[in-house]
Amino acid sequence: MSTASANPAHLALGSGDNASNFTLDADRLLIERAADKKWPRVQVPHRNVLWAALNGARFELSVLAKKKPKGPLSLVHVTGPVSDDADKAAAAAFADALMAAAYPDGLQRQRRLKVFVNPKSGPGKAASLFQKKIQPIFRAAHCDVDVTFTSRGKEAQEIAAALPLDRFDAVAVMSGDGLIHEVFNGFAAHAEPRKAFRIPVTPLPTGSGNALAVNLLGQDEAKDISAAALNAIKGRPMKIDLCSFTQGEKRYISFMSQSMGLIADVDLGTDPLRFMGAQRFILGFIYEVIRHKSCPYKVSIKVAQSDKRKMVQDMHADRARAQAAFPAPAAPSEDQDQQQREGEEEASGLPPLRYKDADTSADGWLTFEGPLMSLFAGKGPFVSPDLMQFPVSLPADGLIDVTLQARTNRLAMLKVLDGAERGNHFWLDSQKYYKAHAYRVEPHVKKGWLSIDGEPYPLQPFAVEVHRELGTVLSMYGCFQLEFDLPPEKEGRS
């Protein structure tokens, strides 16, 4: 290698056929290496740069790049000898400039990650995917990884409950949403729950639903496990609401959804079809529509909003605000530090329950009693890649979206499938939609499924209430990823 340019925005190493040119502009890194038959020209945004350094007499660079714009990310390593001192100085300066661009605004390098891998999740490929794809990406970013391959249910929950909190910067969960449910419930049982909930949890999706991954990354990126790994390395902490789900004296954390009736039957009743991936939900839905079963429930909702058009407008306003404020400064100011210390002293345990025993006949509560096809409530727009059940759900508005599907004919039910991935059913008159602070349910049936974050719970009376900003996840965007708007007609159909 020879002549290296001194400009940190450009590095030229080697000559002739072996020349390597690196150009760093305001948004991108361009790598040109004619001799590299597989990756002669690589162009990536700064965020896809995992590491760059002069290591002794070698320049080393690792990026995540795409062959095709819509293809998956691949890990690309570029290395080459740098012999003379002038070249070394230029390569070191370029690496510094590139690292500053790759980890801007105090973004932490070399995250310390606690990783859970559920080898039994979804189609059962998580363990090999971790070894082949995820581990090399974390290594390339010089992350400190502590991995547990779960050998049974509740193991991740137990580990999360005793997690040494100062040891890790984030928890990455390679599974579906069930293991994320376990981690949040482990945090709830931790000796320092508030501190535990400040550790961001981030999905590496290998389950069949993967709702959190779809919500954080979007429908396309969530299909690419390497994009999820990049989020674990580069995502910024984003606050989310978590819910308390209580049954009698028992209290659990629900981060995603609660369902009963048709939807729970589809979710839990199709468990033996796990090998099919997300297709099992569609097959299950059609089966349940043919069965056409409805069940009597009493549902009381502490309503915050019931106007669907207003919900859409509020959602857009909140997204715009959240994106403008994102990311928050990495280092808190002294004032914020002080406020946080004071807050911690006040509330180091779980937030108090405000609605568990509330009088549901009081103002602000709505009560329904009668047969329903399903009740589906949750946080986060997508509950699976093909179902945007809660299009107006926001990460941290302190509200849960509650939908009640009234009994209707089979054809009308099948309409729910039409554009479900775009949230079209939101506008159906048969689907009541509320934004709520809390709700309570008394099922007037003994048999059936109750699904909490996709996990089975006993079908008994329960209550749910929201804790604003209790949880933390990682995000590249500062809001959930979805496209949803008012219908084009002047008048909405709701």
Ligand X SMILES: Nc1ncnc2c1ncn2[C@@H]1O[C@H](COP(=O)(O)OP(=O)(O)OP(=O)(O)O)[C@@H](O)[C@H]1O
- Which residues here bind ligand X, judged by CB under 6 A? 118-122, 150-154, 175-179, 182, 207-210, 274, 454-455
Q: Which is nearer to ligand X, 152 or 490 (CB)?
A: 152
Nearest alpha-carbon partner for 255 in 343, 188, 164:
188
CB of 271 to ligand X, least distance (A): 8
Sequence-ordered list of residues with C-beta below 8 angstroms from that of 455, at least 6 positions apart, any chain: 178, 181
CB of 152 to ligand X, least distance (A): 5
Q: Which is nearer to ligand X, 53 or 129 (CB)?
A: 129
Q: Which is nearer to ligand X, 59 or 449 (CB)?
A: 449
Q: Which is nearer to ligand X, 155 or 318 (CB)?
A: 155
Distance (Å, whole) CA 308 – CA 493: 10
What is the number of the residue whose Cβ is closest to ligand X? 176
Q: Which is nearer to ligand X, 178 or 261 (CB)?
A: 178
CB of 389 to ligand X, least distance (A): 14
CB of 450 to ligand X, least distance (A): 15
Q: Which is nearer to ligand X, 66 or 181 (CB)?
A: 181
Whether 263 and 252 have beta carbons less than 8 Å apart is answered as no
For 341, counting Cβ atoms within 10 Å of its Cβ (0-12 exposed, 13-18 middle, 19+ buried), the class is exposed
Q: Which is nearer to ligand X, 182 or 224 (CB)?
A: 182
CB of 159 to ligand X, least distance (A): 11
CB of 479 to ligand X, least distance (A): 22
Q: Which is nearer to ligand X, 151 or 361 (CB)?
A: 151
Q: Which is nearer to ligand X, 20 or 185 (CB)?
A: 185
Chain Cα centroid distance, residue 447: 32
Q: Which is nearer to ligand X, 208 or 226 (CB)?
A: 208
CB of 273 to ligand X, least distance (A): 11
Give, rounded to a whole angstrom, the gap between the first and last alpha carbons of the chain: 68
CB of 455 to ligand X, least distance (A): 6
CB of 123 to ligand X, least distance (A): 8
CB of 282 to ligand X, least distance (A): 14
CB of 199 to ligand X, least distance (A): 19
Q: Which is nearer to ligand X, 205 or 391 (CB)?
A: 205
